[in-house]
Structure 1
Amino acid sequence: MRDRNLWNHSCAEQFDAPILDADLTADLLIIGGGFTGCSAALEAEKQGAKVVLIEARTIGFGGSGRNVGLVNAGLWLPPDTVCQRMGQAAGERLNTTLAEAPDAVFSLIDEHGIQCEAIRNGTLHCAHSKGGLDDLITRYEQQLRRGAPVQLLDAAQTAQATGTDVYYGALQDMRAGTLQPLGYVRGLARAAAQAGTQIFENSSVMQLGFSGDWLARCKSGSVRAKSLILATNAYHTGFRGAESVRMTPVNFFQLATPPLPASLLNEILGQHQGCWDTGLVMTSFRKDKAGRFILGAMGLPDRMGIHENWARRAMARLFPGLKDQSFEFFWSGRIGMSVDYIAKIQRLGERGYSAFGFSGRGIGPGTVIGRSLARAVLNGDETALPIAPIDAYQDKLRVAKGLWIEAGARAIHFTGAR
């Protein structure tokens, strides 16, 4: 069961591409076949550019194909905190852009007929404690000031919406929704390829350099391009000319049951909302189209089964009717966590950019940032980017923070203190 990814099993979108085995030229080279890279490729084709996208493994192999599948509006941070960390004008610019991100995602799904189980019935941010409810009240007030279609649910309303009475309340955001993340990213790749993008899988870049143009060398081919977007995020392996981005290492695992019996389907998340809680070590839960219950949390699957055993107890606590349910799928992925939980755009040189650090919010931000990067790199104007580019990035405490997060997750999950 370990490392069995549900999304690989249930994905309706099929996509495959050849290995790069020739020397090519392009207007834009994209390295990385996730949400950001595929969105950038599709937008660049709309702008009339000749695009080549290289993926070291397969489209959606990284975080995009291991995602929870919540299409959220905004960042993990409250909008006022975004402004405090970025400055008022820059923060509101990013808040506004990401508030509209679900519109961009669901519009692309409709436009290109992407088969990804898309449901736009909102998401629920659930208060696991009284302190968590206070946090949601603050977020609710901040979102209301910005005209967001959010609603604060009390405990009874939350129980009715979710099917469990363990939460103190929830913040409902009707801009948001759920999807099958691998289906979404493969659909973006398919649309980009149909528009003209040359996509190559299983083609690891070995060396990257710039001398008038960007030149990427793989084992059996190369690409020379005027512009570059590096979109590998948490799955960047590092190669000559592009060292690994030094972000906090954070892992997130998920488990999924077989399809639930009809007697439970309407009792648990009857409207198919995606949910996550206010816990320091966050937990998520949702259903897929087939009616499987999917539970996720921070942590790296271990040989002792700490996280898996916790998941069984947590599922039974949330929904006693599921106490005898087994898990059919179990997979995990890496999150690109930035030092301040705000995504980054970094200049790599002339007409070259990298995007990373979505901090668990890859679908919406990846889609709109990829799109905006394509426009900026092709027209040479970065002023329209939702985030001002930086020239360098580092997180000196990344290793210690990563170990602390994993240790905290294991401690909480070992004791079952939730």
Structure 2
Amino acid sequence: MLEDKRSHGLWELSAPPAPPTTVLGGSVSADVVIVGAGYTGLSAALHLAKAGRSAIVLEAVEIGFGASGRNSGFVNAGLWVMPDDLIATLGQVYGNRLIQLLGDAPREVFALTEHYGMQCQADHRGTYHCAVGPSGLQQLQARQVQWSRLGAKVELLSTEETQARTGAVGYRASLFDPRAGTIQPLAYARGLAAAAISEGATIHTRSAVTSFERSGEAWYVRTAGGSVSAKWLILATDAYSAGPTSMIREEQVRLPYFHISTPPLSHNLRKTILPNGGAGWDTKTILSGFRLDAEGRLIVGSVGALRSTGLGIHRGWAKRHIRKLFPQLGDVEFETEWYGQIGMTPDHLPRLHTYGANANAIGINGYNGRGIAPGTVFGRELARLVLGETSLEGMPLPVSDVGAPAFREWREAYYEVGAQLAHLPVVPA
């Protein structure tokens, strides 16, 4: 995208075309103007349009340009934060409300893909969180206890069961979550956009917002080519926010994450990796994940940016990592590589913000690497708020002020360099 093969990689090569859109020109009005054509903004537009409200989405580049088009495609339930910790941070009311919403979120994603016939490789066959060492096993045991207490049918698998179901060698155990699955993330974003348009929403790409302000009863959102006036404003730009929405980006520490894919594996080899579908990731601090796409390409990913010295270091790590996990593959070649940025908040929880002097400007951001299912249902909940079906007090998150984490730029540099150090080959003593 934008002539950059390392921005969206395999996903851009294998996604169906985006629905036709136009650049905003002139002055128009709508019930709601939404900034950002990622999962949250597109889901909000879809649900608003389906309810009969006029919704206009303004996107600076293209549909799914940000994290929505670059991620691993894991449709997970819940957040990185364990349920008990989430309740401790948010309290019983919001904590339980958020756990319920996000526990059911993958089902909403897969229901939408089926209802609208999205061609996005939707695979609702679970995911495997894989334990590295004794501490990883203890972490998964705690997750299994907490989620089971809440009624989730997650399953702790032994070493042997983990290897049989994932094909990966060396994991101590794994936590299988049947609620989860995988998707082609850019194709899903484009599918959401097509669904929103089919319901009556309008999407303008190449229409970066230059300013927004409240005047009287309306918000006025301007681009280089025109403006939109609307009663409601939804900001849905997250980690790739810029210009007048840059305060959203600045309250997050961005963590780089890359993916590298092989050419399609032979039929016999692909049967040895995740034979029952799904995807896997590990419990390391600098975690890594693996999955197959619909054509049998093995995709591995980890923390790091594919630029400067990181390019060679992370490529080398990927080759060693694949040989270690899947020795049957031998020395593989790579077909595509890409990377993006994950927006991290200090407590790893999303944020609900209001903007301006009233509640008619809202947004949810800070997905911490869990954007597909949460973004989809948060977009729906923002639409419900606009429609009057819920209140700010009834939302899944409490309203919080926009903040700025300490030492943000230093920490971002540290993560990029630290990932390179972690991915260097180990030299025998």
TM range (shorter): over 0.9
Determine the structure 1 residue equivalent to 2:27: 23
Deviates more, 1:9-18 or 1:218-227: 9-18
2:11 is equivalent to residue 7 of structure 1: yes
2:323 is equivalent to residue 316 of structure 1: yes
Determine the structure 2 residue equivalent to 1:377: 386
Query: How far is 1:336 from its partner?
Result: 1.3
Determine the structure 2 residue equivalent to 1:342: 349
Deviates more, 1:322-331 or 1:227-236: 322-331
Determine the structure 2 residue equivalent to 1:402: 412
Within 1, Cα distance between the matches of 2:172 and 2:245? 51
Question: 1:207 touches 1:241 (CA, 8 Å); kept in 2?
Answer: no
Q: Secondary structure at the match of 2:419?
A: helix
Within 1, Cα distance between the matches of 2:51 and 2:68? 24
Deviates more, 1:387-396 or 1:324-333: 387-396
Determine the structure 2 residue equivalent to 1:193: 197
Query: How far is 1:242 from its partner?
Result: 6.1
Determine the structure 1 residue equivalent to 2:362: 353
2:190 is equivalent to residue 181 of structure 1: no
Q: Deviations over 1:238-261 (max 9, x none)?
A: 228967442101111001111001
Determine the structure 2 residue equivalent to 1:277: 282
Within 1, Cα distance between the matches of 2:426 and 2:189? 35
Q: Secondary structure at the match of 1:5?
A: helix
Q: Deviations over 1:115-161 (max 9, x none)?
A: 11001110000001111011000000001101101000010000001
Alignment of 1:201-212 (within 5 A): 201-212=205-216
Within 1, Cα distance between the matches of 2:11 and 2:96? 34
- The gaps in structure 2 that reach 5 residues or longer are none
Alignment of 1:13-412 (within 5 A): 13-212=17-216, 213-239=218-244, 244-304=249-309, 305-349=312-356, 350=358, 351-379=360-388, 381-412=391-422
Read off the aligned partner of 2:325 and give its amino acid letter.
L
Question: 1:13 touches 1:116 (CA, 8 Å); kept in 2?
Answer: no
- The gaps in structure 1 that reach 5 residues or longer are none
Q: Secondary structure at the match of 2:331?
A: coil
Q: Secondary structure at the match of 1:136?
A: helix
Query: How far is 1:416 from its partner?
Result: 4.9
Q: Secondary structure at the match of 1:335?
A: strand
- Call closer, same or farther: CA 1:115–1:155 in 2, change over 3 Å: same
Question: 1:32 touches 1:231 (CA, 8 Å); kept in 2?
Answer: yes
Q: Secondary structure at the match of 1:56?
A: coil
Within 2, Cα distance between the matches of 1:200 and 1:4? 20
- Call closer, same or farther: CA 1:200–1:83 in 2, change over 3 Å: same
Query: How far is 1:406 from its partner?
Result: 2.1
Within 2, Cα distance between the matches of 1:388 and 1:352? 15
Query: How far is 1:13 from its partner?
Result: 5.0
Read off the aligned partner of 2:116 and give its amino acid letter.
H
RMSD: 1.6
Percent identity of the aligned residues? 41
Among 420, 423, 427, which residue is 1:413 paired with? 423
Query: How far is 1:56 from its partner?
Result: 0.3
Within 2, Cα distance between the matches of 1:411 and 1:287? 27
Within 2, Cα distance between the matches of 1:247 and 1:228? 21
The ranges of structure 1 where at least 4 consecutive aligned residues each deviate by more than 3 angstroms after the TM superposition are: 1-4, 240-245
- Call closer, same or farther: CA 1:243–1:294 in 2, change over 3 Å: closer
- Call closer, same or farther: CA 1:57–1:116 in 2, change over 3 Å: same
Q: Secondary structure at the match of 2:423?
A: helix
Q: Deviations over 1:99-125 (max 9, x none)?
A: 010111111111111111001110000
